[in-house]
Structure 1
């Protein structure tokens, strides 16, 4: 397989401190610092590390009430995006070529310091991201 699991799931929270405490206390997760995200100053991101290479990327966004929408199962909408963990650097490059070939990505690679990342859209329009650690 070219993938080695889920790298991260991106979600919106109304109270990242409460969420972080829950995952730390129940699952012994590592809760990273909350940092500014986006260009308008009303958005933050907090990484909650829940496994060796699996995170929750938790966003707070001023004026966004999506975290308050708690509807019955199958009525909750889709996730913002999935981050998939490539099994190796070679696998990352193979996936990159295939995504471009399928018209799902322009092949641009982002260097986020600790990881390389590329975004794609699946046939349903869901955004995905493939990541590989740089170290």
Structure 2
């Protein structure tokens, strides 16, 4: 298998303090600092580590109504994006080549410090990301 599970799930929250406390107190998750994110004022991101290589990447955006949409199951909308963990550097490169061959990615490798990533779009248009530690 080329993948080793989920690296992260990106979501939008209205109240990062409440969410951070919940995951820390219930799951003993490691919570990183809340830092400015993106190009807009009032946008932050907090990484909540919930497993050995799995995080919630929680974004808050002032005025964004999405976190308030809590309709019944299957009517809540889609995630912002998800990150898959490559099993090895070789797997990462194989996946990158396959994504480019399908036209699902331009193949650009992003250097995010401790990890490298490639973004892609699946056939339904949902954005995904494949990551590998350096």
TM-score, normalised to structure 1, is 0.98
Unaligned runs of 5+ in 2: none
Whole-Å separation in 2 of the counterparts to 1:17 and 1:113: 26
Matching residue of 2:6: 6
Alignment of 1:22-61 (within 5 A): 22-61=22-61
Alignment of 1:69-80 (within 5 A): 69-80=69-80
TM-score, normalised to structure 2, is 0.98
For residues 83-107 of structure 1, the C-alpha deviation after alignment (integer angstroms, 9 at most, x for no partner) is 0000001000000000000000000
- What is the RMSD computed on CA atoms of the aligned residues? 0.6
Whole-Å separation in 2 of the counterparts to 1:76 and 1:18: 20
Q: What secondary structure does 1:92 align onto?
A: helix
Whole-Å separation in 1 of the counterparts to 2:118 and 2:37: 18
Unaligned runs of 5+ in 1: none
Matching residue of 1:98: 98
Aligned length, in residue pairs: 134
Q: What secondary structure does 2:32 align onto?
A: strand
Matching residue of 1:84: 84
Give how far 1:41 is off.
Answer: 2.0
Moved over 6 A (4+): none
Matching residue of 1:67: 67
Q: What secondary structure does 2:34 align onto?
A: strand
For residues 65-122 of structure 1, the C-alpha deviation after alignment (integer angstroms, 9 at most, x for no partner) is 1111100001011111010000001000000000000000000000000110110000
Whole-Å separation in 2 of the counterparts to 1:104 and 1:26: 38
Q: What secondary structure does 1:33 align onto?
A: coil
For residues 27-59 of structure 1, the C-alpha deviation after alignment (integer angstroms, 9 at most, x for no partner) is 000000011111122210000000000000000
